[in-house]
């Protein structure tokens, strides 16, 4: 993939992007039961965020896919959205294998695998998180991760919220 993206940024309802990504995951995994492990925990009446609908849905799908891939079949995946001052906090949390602290700085690099045996065990080529970073870079925000080995990971980012009554940008 290239470094430039054709994004059409407008006011997006986070719940719509999350549900679209969740439905897509059910098709990708071929089993609805996997997508049903995803618990959507979005605050009521979240304001829209400025985003490209396809881009934000792709970010959410990739983060949820990773969470499903690296956690046990009986472990929930949580998608969290809430207000934090003038931003919407968006996170995907799993209770899976976690990532060692000394590996965290590299996981957003293209083709990077924390453990080369992970590719065989968990599948994937190591481009999902690099694509997440690229899309969020184009949204002028950063992806963050909090992780502990054996306890799981939380990938999160912030987007400003849009006041449609005052906004002239859309």
Q: What is the dihedral of CA 111, 115, 117, 121, to 10 degrees?
A: -90
Segment 141-164 mean pLDDT: 93
Which residue range is the domain that position 126 belongs to? 9-160
74-87: per-residue pLDDT in tens? 899 999 999 999 99
- Predicted pLDDT at 51: 96
Q: Is residue 67, in this structure, part of any structural domain at all?
A: yes
Query: What's the CATH code of the domain at 97?
Result: 3.30.565.10
User: Distance of CA 116 to CAs 73, 85, 97, 127, Å?
Assistant: 22, 40, 15, 14
Q: Is residue 124 over pLDDT 70?
A: no
Q: Is residue 118, in this structure, part of any structural domain at all?
A: yes
Q: Is residue 23 over pLDDT 50?
A: yes
Q: Is residue 166, in this structure, part of any structural domain at all?
A: no
Predicted TM-score (pTM) of this structure: 0.85
Segment 23-51 mean pLDDT: 83
Q: How many percent of the chain have pLDDT more than 90?
A: 58
Q: Is residue 142, in this structure, part of any structural domain at all?
A: yes
Question: Radius of gyration (Cα) for the chain, nearest Å?
Answer: 16
Query: What's the domain count of the chain?
Result: 1
Query: For the chain, what is the HEC assignment?
Result: CCCCCCCCEEEECHHHHHHHHHHHHHHHHCCHHHHHCEEEEECCCCCCEEEEHHHHHHHHHHHHHHHHHCCCCCCCEEEEEEEECCEEEEEEEECCCCCCHHHHHHCCCCCCCCCHHHHHHHCCCCCHHHHHHHHHHCCCCCCEEEEECCCEEEEEEEEECCCCCCCCCC
Q: Is residue 170, in this structure, part of any structural domain at all?
A: no
Q: Is residue 1 over pLDDT 70?
A: no
- Predicted pLDDT at 35: 73
Q: Is residue 19, in this structure, part of any structural domain at all?
A: yes
> Closest by alpha carbon to 55, among 83, 19, 84, 17?
17
54-106: per-residue pLDDT in tens? 999 999 999 999 999 899 888 999 999 999 999 999 999 999 999 989 888 88
Do 138 and 157 meet the contact criterion of CB atoms below 8 Å apart? Answer: no
Q: Is residue 116, in this structure, part of any structural domain at all?
A: yes
Q: Is residue 83, in this structure, part of any structural domain at all?
A: yes
In angstroms, the CA 1 to CA 4 distance is: 9
């Amino acid at each position: 993939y290239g470094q430039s993206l054709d994004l059409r940024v407008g006011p997006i309802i986070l719940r719509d992007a999350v549900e679209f990504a969740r439905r897509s995951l059910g098709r990708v995994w071929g089993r609805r039961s996997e997508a049903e492990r995803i618990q959507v925990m979005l605050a009521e009446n979240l304001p829209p965020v400025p985003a490209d609908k396809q881009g934000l849905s792709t970010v959410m799908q990739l983060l949820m896919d990773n969470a499903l891939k690296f956690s046990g079949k009986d472990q929930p995946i949580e998608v969290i959205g809430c207000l934090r001052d003038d931003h919407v906090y968006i996170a995907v949390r799993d209770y899976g294998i976690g990532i060692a602290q000394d590996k965290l700085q590299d996981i957003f690099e293209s083709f990077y695998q924390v453990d080369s045996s992970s590719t065989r065990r968990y599948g994937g080529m190591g481009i999902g998180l690099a694509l997440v970073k690229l899309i969020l870079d184009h949204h002028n925000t950063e992806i963050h991760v909090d992780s502990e080995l054996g306890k799981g990971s939380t990938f999160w980012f912030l987007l400003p919220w849009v006041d449609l009554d005052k906004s002239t940008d859309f």
